[in-house]
A and B are shown apart, each in its own frame.
Chain A
Amino acid sequence: MNGMKCIICCTMASSSMEVDNVLSEQKVLPPKPKFEPLKPHEMPGAAVQFRKVSVPPHRYTPLKKVWMDIYTPVFEQMKIDIRMNLKGRKVELKTRHDTPDISNLQKCADFVHAFMLGFDVIDAIAILRLDELYVESFEIKDVKTLRGDHLSRAIGRLSGKGGKTKFTIENASKTRIVIADTKIHILGSFANIKIARDSLCYLIMGSPAGKVYSKLRAVTSRMAERF
């Protein structure tokens, strides 16, 4: 009976205490906590993260030439450590302690990879600057199985005389295209990649350049009107 009484008393006491607490809480709320995004080295995984981009032999010399153009924005603006492993023919990227965002590393890796695919530094730099730029790669044989002379002719059709057709597509769709033998890489925003890809597919399948131009014109005018 006594125990019971005590409990009741306790409960009554606690409830009264709770009431008091509630009242106090209603009056003063602590401010919402603002959490900065985690820096890479603060993340629960490994503190430092790496990316390794292998250098194909034909891009070795160009890389040597434009190394500083690559190094500077990566190191300074992106705050990613970058180095060239000569023995392994790889470009290695590493986060620093003051790297602001984990996505920087990925962006830099994409940037370097784009350069390795064949894009120019000034074009590949856009990856660092803009968020939504992608590189799409596909092969000619994905579109249409061509052999021998037909394949060569298709590649010729894609480029055009002096690269005319390729530049036209690039300018019209605001993308950059790299035709590496049978592989095709397109760098740009999603919608623009689609436009460029469609034009290139038409060319692979055999449409004459004039026809592709007219289609391009129509599409780009529509896109321009939208804005």
Chain B
Amino acid sequence: MANTNDAGVEALRRLQQIDPPSLLAPNPSVSETARSASQYLFTTLRPFSPKSPLDELLVDGYDAEQIWHQIDLQSQPLLSTLRRRLNQFVKNPEEIAQFKVPLDVGKKLEKKKRVELEEEESDDFDEELDDDDDDFEGVEKKKAKGGSEGEDDFEEEDDEDEEGSEDEDDEEDEKEKVKGGGIEDKFLKIDELTEYLEKEEDNYEKGEERDEADEDSEEDDELEKAGEFEMDDEDDDDDDEEDEEAEDMGNVRYEDFFGGKNEKGSKRKDQLLEVSGDEDDMESTKQKKRTASTYEKQREKIQSKIVLMEKANIEPKTWTMQGEVTASKRPINSAFEVDLDFEHNVRPTPVITEEVTASIEEMIQKKIVEGLFNDVQRAPKLPSKAPREVKQLDDNKSGQGLADLYEQEYVQKTDPTSAPLSFKDELKNEASTLFKKICLKLDALSHFNFAPKPVIEDMSFQTNVPALAMEEIAPVAVSDAAMLAPEEVFDGKGDVKEEAELTQAERKRRRANKKRKFKAEAVNKLEKKARLEKKADNAISCQVDGNFFIYPYMSNAALTSHLLLNLSHMFIFYYQPHFVKNIKQLLFQLLLYSEFLNAVSLLHKLDLCCLLKQRAEDHVC
């Protein structure tokens, strides 16, 4: 027993030492200590509560609610007895004096009572209630001491609260002393209290259940509330109950205890503490609220809401609720606090990150590789009308004189066909001629699809050279066809007649002419022969005219061949290059006249000459 007692005391002490804020969070160690403390208190109070069914508080595995109910079972009858005793003391203050005579005893009794109260209060602790504990303690103490007169003890409430808190901090003995000193007032007499309590005890048994029920409900309600209101409520409740009981008793009224509302108000003003004044009002209002039904409560709630709303409506609205608000009409920087919602017409600027740039560059590279630039293609403008020939302005000094210019103009006017070449036309012509020249050269190189030179109608002198020589670059063969037509070659004059057509006179004339020519020629030949032979004999510096040969040999092939032979002799010894060209021509002539034999012999001779010449050169070397 002593051990358990000690444990219990220790548990209590620990509870008292615990910081109230720490009780806010559920703590298993605290709950353990609380449970042990409550157990201890229960057992200590057990002898004073004869009617409680439980011998000890069962805590193991029991819920807070269950533990509370157990405590309640014990404490309810205890409380009622205490009240009765108080009433007795009130009526019979002598008893209190008796009570008080042995100071120690009285103190001890008081102490006991206080301890009981404390224990009760501590029993009444809910682990979850923290803030209410101190107040509750104070309230309970007041109940014990003040009872119905607790209403008058507004001053003492505060003191008791302070004393309550002090009690927790200090040791119980010290608390007792302070309390003893503080509580005893003109209003509160402990002896009266005890008398009253005893009286009430008798009354209690009659309305026990009723009290319990009321107290429970009220206590439950008040446990949730904080502050001094609870104390007042409980006092009121108690008073009300007492009033109800007083009906049975007879003459006790509200006004006896609380002195009516008006008196209270006046008393209020006399008292110094404003808090107590507030408490008075609150008590009066709460008395009313206590009597109100649920409907009235609801209505009151709504009324309060209505009041609030009307107040809001009357007052000017907040700037967010007003229409157009400029910066001057709202407090500084208030727009920051409000979450404004408005449409953004502008697209948010893109955040340029490396990835974005990389993606863009990739796209560019791809497009460059593919060549897809999405270039805008100009829509082809359909030619509505034929393009007008734009006149080109010539910025060179004009070669023609002014007179020629006007002459041309005049000619153009009068003879529209002869249109002079304009500057553009001249250029065109120049370009075309150049191009043709180039084409000719290219064709010649390729040789397969060669086209002959275009015939430009110019006045040009044409020699009677075989046509192929002019046209072919690489003459493959020598052709008979001469460039000049026979009539161009023809050197004669007049009407050419065949022999059959000739008349007698014409025949005679021809013969006569022939004779004359022949005679002349014969003379010439003789002279030339003499000259030639002279030259041949000289043989060193012979500048023989090439043409010299052609004339005679054209007319007489036999003579030609004869002379050629002679020539060949010369040629062998005196090879001179300018002979060769003439010999070539001679050969052609010979072939013309079908003097193949002579031609062949000449060729042979030429070959021989060459050979000999080479040999001579070799010998020289």
Contacts and interface: CB of A to CB of B under 8 A. Distances in A.
B393 A171 contact: yes
A227 B395 contact: no
A126 B394 contact: no
B344 interface: no
B396 interface: yes
B424 to A, nearest CB: 13
B88 to A, nearest CB: 132
A131 to B, nearest CB: 11
B302 to A, nearest CB: 92
A213 interface: yes
Interface stretch (A20-28, A82-90, A214-222): A214-222
Contacts of A194: none
A139 interface: no
Interface string B377-390: 00000000000001
B177 interface: no
Interface in B396-415: 396-398, 401-407, 409, 412-413
Interface in A183-227: 187-189, 213, 216-217, 220-221, 224, 227
B329 interface: no
B391 A217 contact: yes
B412 A227 contact: yes
Contact of B393 (A125, A133, A188, A217): A217
A120 interface: yes
B401 A227 contact: no
B406 A126 contact: yes
Contact of A172 (B393, B403, B404, B413): B393
B270 to A, nearest CB: 111
Given A174-B409, A227-B412, A126 B397 contact: no
Contact of B391 (A125, A160, A170, A220): A220
A196 to B, nearest CB: 12
A167 B406 contact: no
A165 B395 contact: yes
A126 B398 contact: no
Nearest to A161: B395
Interface string A143-164: 0000000000000000010011
Interface in B199-224: none
A188 B398 CA distance: 15
A1 interface: no
Interface in A117-132: 120, 122-126, 129-130
B398 A170 contact: yes
A167 B403 contact: no
A174 B406 contact: yes
Nearest to A224: B391
Interface string B306-325: 00000000000000000000
A225 B179 CA distance: 136
A124 B406 CA distance: 12
Nearest to B406: A130
Contacts of A167: 394-398
A125 B401 CA distance: 8
Interface residues of A, number: 31
Nearest to B412: A227
B421 to A, nearest CB: 14
A201 to B, nearest CB: 18
Given A126-B406, A130-B406, A227-B412, A171 B394 contact: yes
B402 A176 contact: yes
Nearest to B394: A171
A120 B391 contact: no
Nearest to A163: B397
B318 to A, nearest CB: 71
B395 A125 contact: no
A174 B405 contact: yes
Nearest to A188: B402
A125 B396 CA distance: 21
A164 B401 contact: no
Looking at B395, B396, B402, B413, the one whose CB has the most chain A CB atoms below 10 A away is B402
B393 A130 contact: no
Nearest to A218: B391
Interface in A28-60: none
Closest 6 CB pairs of A and B: A122-B401, A126-B403, A126-B402, A123-B402, A164-B395, A168-B395
Interface of A: 120, 122-126, 129-130, 133, 160, 163-165, 167-168, 170-172, 174-176, 187-189, 213, 216-217, 220-221, 224, 227
21 contacts: A122-B403, A123-B401, A124-B402, A125-B401, A126-B401, A126-B402, A129-B403, A130-B403, A133-B406, A160-B395, A164-B395, A167-B395, A168-B394, A168-B395, A170-B397, A171-B394, A171-B396, A174-B406, A175-B402, A189-B406, A213-B393
Given A168-B394, A172-B393, A216-B393, 8 more contacts: A122-B401, A122-B403, A123-B402, A125-B402, A167-B394, A167-B395, A213-B393, A224-B391
Interface of B: 390-391, 393-398, 401-407, 409, 412-413
